[in-house]
Amino acid sequence: MPGVNVRNFSIIAHVDHGKSTLADRILEHLGAMGERDKRDQTLDTLELERERGITIKSTPVRLNYTRPNGEQYVFNLIDTPGHVDFGYEVSRSLAACEGVLLLVDASQGVEAQTIVNAYLAIDSGLTIIPVVNKIDLPAADPEGAAQELEEVVGIPAEDAIFASGKTGAGVPEILEAIVERIPPPPGDPQAPLKALIFDSFYDAYQGVILFVRVLEGTVRAKDAVTLFNTGKDFEVDKVGTFTPGLIVSDVLAAGSVGWIAAGIKDIQDAQVGDTVTSREHPTLEPFPGFKPAQPVVFSGLYPTDTEDYRKLREALERLKLNDAAFSFEPETSEALGFGFRCGFLGLLHAEIVQERLEREFDLDLIATAPAVIYRITLTNGEVIVTQNPAEFPTRDRIELVEEPYIKMSVMLPEEHVGPVMQLLQERRGSMVTMNYMGKRVELVYQVPFAEILYDFHDRLKSISRGYASMDYEIIDYREGDLQKVDIYVNGEIVDALAVIVHESKAYSLGRKVVDKMAEVIPRQMWAVPVQAAIGGKIIARATVKAFRKDVLAKCYGGDISRKKKLLSKQKKGKARMKQIGTVEVPQEAFLAVLSTDE
Angle at which helix 112-123 crosses helix 87-94, to 10 degrees, equals: 30
CB atoms < 10 A from the CB of 377, how many? 15
188 is in an annotated binding site: no
Distance CA(202)–CA(268), nearest Å, equals 11
Is the Cβ–Cβ distance between 84 and 346 less than 8 Å?
A: yes
Angle at 433 (CA atoms; ends 144, 291), nearest 5 degrees: 85
197 is in an annotated binding site: no
Is the Cβ–Cβ distance between 350 and 299 less than 8 Å?
A: yes
Give the residue from 418, 465, 463 showing the smallest Cα distance to 441.
418
Is the Cβ–Cβ distance between 12 and 131 less than 8 Å?
A: no
What are the Cα distances from residue 566, in Å, to 398, 524, 549, 551, 572? 52, 20, 11, 7, 10
Provide φ and ψ at 268, rounded to 5°.
-65, -20
What are the Cα distances from residue 290, in Å, to 76, 92, 271? 21, 7, 10
Angle at 8 (CA atoms; ends 104, 223), nearest 5 degrees: 150
The 3-state DSSP class for residue 157 equals helix
Cis peptide before 244 (omega within 30 of 0): yes
447: left (phi over 0), alpha (psi -120 to 50) or beta: beta
18 is in an annotated binding site: yes
Distance CA(229)–CA(176), nearest Å, equals 40
Distance CA(106)–CA(144), nearest Å, equals 8
333 is in an annotated binding site: no
435 is in an annotated binding site: no
Distance CA(23)–CA(61), nearest Å, equals 10
Instruction: Sort 467 into a burial class: Cβ within 10 Å, 0-12 / 13-18 / 19+.
Output: middle
Give the residue from 336, 518, 370 showing the smallest Cα distance to 451.
370
133 is in an annotated binding site: yes
17 is in an annotated binding site: yes
Is the Cβ–Cβ distance between 347 and 370 less than 8 Å?
A: yes
Distance CA(315)–CA(323), nearest Å, equals 12
Q: Residue 112, Cα to own-chain centre: how many angstroms?
A: 17
38 is in an annotated binding site: no
Which amino acid, 494?
A: V
The 3-state DSSP class for residue 70 equals coil
**Own/partner pairs for 222-225, CB < 8 Å, 24+ apart?**
223/193, 223/278, 224/278, 224/279, 224/280, 225/193, 225/260, 225/262, 225/276, 225/277, 225/278, 225/279
265 is in an annotated binding site: no
Distance CA(79)–CA(27), nearest Å, equals 12
Q: Which helix (H) or strand (E) holds 19?
A: helix 19-29
The residues, any chain, with a CB within 8 Å of residue 70's CB and separated by 6 or more, are none
Sheet strand arrangement including 297-303: 327-333, 337-344, 297-303, 365-367
- Binding site: which residues? 16-21, 133-136
Binding positions for GTP: 16-21, 133-136
